Amino acid sequence: MEDRLDLSGKTVLVTGGGKGVGRGITRRFLEAGADVVICGRNEPEQPVEARGRGALFSAADVREVEQIERLVSFVSERFGRLDVLVNNAGGTPEVDAASASPRFSEAIIRLNLIAPLNLAQKANAIMQKQAEGGVIINIASVSGVRPSPGTAAYGAAKAGLLNLSATLAVEWAPRVRVNAVTAGMIHTEQAALHYGDDEGIAAVAATVPLGRLGLPEDVGDTCVYLASPLASYVSGANILLHGGGERPAFLSAASNPSK
């Protein structure tokens, strides 16, 4: 039987693919047989490998258009094609909206919204010329679909990324499919910065209906599916990858909670 999750012969670009969620995404694509290029401002301390295969690193700051152009050209020239772009690079420090400087807010939106748009444009130009087209996957966040106190510009940018995904799915069809993955709370090497020590992480995980934080590989599994023939009719979609969401606060606050 044909393995429809086998991506052998496909070329994948994962921005920010050397650490955190991006590392999990990269590993899953390597396991699926794809050739993977990752980028970042600095090369990861440990190479990203899976099943004896490794990702190829190319230095790039995705906030800079010229570096995006060089990155996409490098992938195209090295492999002769670009089948999948995963816009994963992003993030933000926590800053109160009342005190965030205009320059800070602009930088956050530039990284989390403008950079994915610029990358998608360059990737689409290649994919439209390929017989099999291509796939673009934007990694969004629950911060874009609920209030995001402490990270207002980030939440706003991720909300914009969802609209961008749906819009590009219409503009660039039928040759290029575009989807978003809205990730919930993910247990990465930086989890302690957001949730505290092991006890804090466990307490936060207990608020998730499935009883745990997500793993980078969970996001990777979803990306591999979206890039595969199994998702050939999936475009303009937003997959909520959050373990069931968050338990409504009123259930705990009510004097006679139903559960």
Reported as a single tens digit per residue, the pLDDT across 66-109 is 999 999 999 999 999 999 999 999 999 999 999 999 999 999 99
| Percent of the chain's residues with pLDDT above 70 | 97
Q: What is the pLDDT of residue 197?
A: 86
| 197 burial via Cβ count (<10 Å: 0-12, 13-18, 19+) | exposed
Number of other CB atoms surrounding residue 257 within 10 Å: 10
The mean pLDDT value of the chain amounts to 95
Which are the contacts of 106, defined by CB distance < 8 A and separation ≥ 6?
none
Q: Is the pLDDT of residue 236 over 70?
A: yes
Report helix, strand or coil for 110: helix
pLDDT at residue 25 in the model: 98
Cα distance between residue 217 and residue 102, in whole Å: 35
Beta bridge partners of 171: none
3-class SS of residue 13: strand
Query: At 198, is the pLDDT very low, low, confident or very high (cuts 50, 70, 90)?
Result: confident
**Least confident stretch, 16-30, 43-57, 73-87, 181-195:** 181-195
Rounded-to-integer distance, Cα 87 and Cα 180, Å: 9
248 pLDDT exceeds 90?
Answer: no
The question of whether 195 is a catalytic residue gets the answer: no
Give the number of other Cβ atoms within 10 Å of residue 179's Cβ: 25
* Contact in structure between 30 and 47 (CB atoms under 8 Å): no
Q: Which of 154, 195, 225, 233 is catalytic?
A: 154
- Give percent of the chain with pLDDT exceeding 90: 89
The answer to whether residue 253 scores a pLDDT higher than 90 is no
Q: Residue 196's pLDDT is what?
A: 78
Q: Is the pLDDT of residue 240 over 60?
A: yes
